[in-house]
Amino acid sequence: MNILGIETSCDETAAAVVSDGVFVRSNVVATSLKDHQRFGGIIPEIASRRQIEFIDEVVLKSLLSAKAELRDIDAVAVTRHPGLIGSLLVGLCFARALSRSLDKPLIEIDHIKAHLYSNFIQLTKESTACPFERLPAVGLVVSGGHSSLYYVKDFKSFKLLGSTRDDAAGEAFDKVARILDLGYPGGPVIDRLSRQGNNDRIKFPKAILPGSYDFSFSGLKTAVLYYTQKHKNKPDFSSAQVAYAFQESVVSSLIEKSLDACRKMKVKTLLIGGGVAANSALRSQLPLKARSQGVDVFFPPMALCMDNAAMVAGLGFHWHR
């Protein structure tokens, strides 16, 4: 069964063809990131206008890359929420019109749950993916807009355990990068810079929030701001060390909450999704700490950490069934 996926929740315009919920036949992404960089963040009006320009070409290219035609598509899956309303409308309107013209089913998908499904997708025949039988699991979604923990019983049963009370993890990375004058987006540049700043001299706080699986990174961001304002003119000030200490605090909080949720829910599988899933510290530290507790951790391929349509089409397959 071939599902055409369409994803337009933020600044990316993506389309993919996925067979049987697992095998990616094409995965095309166009981004308007360069249009937003000079503003230091996503401008919704610019994002939706660019998506109107991109979407027809992106869908066509995904079909060509999959060596498929519209008559080969069994259903259309599209991101319905959450996201920027203007951007979502571009994808939804296109997908609904295409579904109606083809007389094929339309499946509307939750963007956050699709991120967790990225762990079950194979980009190539040789690539490995999380086996379906590893469910139930705990799922951690960390991105620019979301930091959420779920109990995933199956592909239609997601129970929210906790979410961010203020800034999401990716949002905190962007704001700290702005404080340190590192540009936008902040996640990749802080990740790279922190490798040069390994230190025990600077320690930033983390919000424990006892008895809860919620996250909070606003206080951490403020601590970085005050430290930078106080020390940036001193000769020993190091942006790399600040980036390292900040990243360690974020990663430590994500790891502790996730593994605590695994213990409470009595599961041995932890799924990670979202843009921050590409962070090198999280990818290296979490499996080591999880292994000591008998928990297996799965990360999506790097290409599927960011917003993409393959995850939408993959999850759409199970909803269609």
Same domain, 157 and 14: no
Q: How far apart are CA 140 and CA 121, in angstroms?
A: 17
Confirm if 141 and 148 have CB atoms less than 8 A apart: yes
Cβ-based burial of 261 (10 A; exposed 0-12, middle 13-18, buried ≥19): buried
The number of residues in the chain equals 321
pLDDT by residue, tens only, the chain of 321 residues = 999 999 999 999 999 999 999 999 999 999 999 999 989 899 999 999 999 999 999 999 999 999 999 999 999 999 999 999 999 999 999 999 999 999 999 999 999 999 999 999 999 887 889 999 999 999 999 998 899 999 999 999 999 999 999 999 999 999 999 999 999 999 999 999 999 988 888 999 998 999 999 999 999 999 999 999 999 999 999 999 999 999 999 999 999 999 999 999 999 999 999 999 999 999 999 999 999 999 999 999 999 999 999 999 999 999 998
Q: How far apart are CA 299 and CA 214, in angstroms?
A: 21
What's the confidence (pLDDT) of residue 321? 81
What's the confidence (pLDDT) of residue 106? 98
Same domain, 30 and 164: no
Same domain, 268 and 202: yes
Query: Residue 317, Cα to own-chain centre: how many angstroms?
Result: 20
Same domain, 160 and 251: yes
Same domain, 110 and 19: yes
What's the confidence (pLDDT) of residue 198? 86
Q: How far apart are CA 120 and CA 156, in angstroms?
A: 14
Same domain, 55 and 195: no
In DSSP terms, 180 is beta-bridged to none
Q: What is the pTM of this model?
A: 0.94
Same domain, 171 and 245: yes
CATH number reported for the structural domain that contains residue 210 in this entry:
3.30.420.40
Same domain, 279 and 144: yes
Same domain, 208 and 279: yes
Same domain, 10 and 116: yes
Domain range for 142 is 134-299
Confirm if 137 and 270 have CB atoms less than 8 A apart: yes
Confirm if 110 and 81 have CB atoms less than 8 A apart: yes
b/e sequence 198-235, b meaning 16+ C-beta within 10 Å? eeeebebebbeeeeebbbbbeebbebbeebbeeeeeee
Same domain, 153 and 208: yes
Same domain, 183 and 283: yes
Report the domain count for the chain.
Answer: 2
What is the C-alpha R_g of the chain? 20
b/e sequence 271-281, b meaning 16+ C-beta within 10 Å? bbbbbbbbbeb
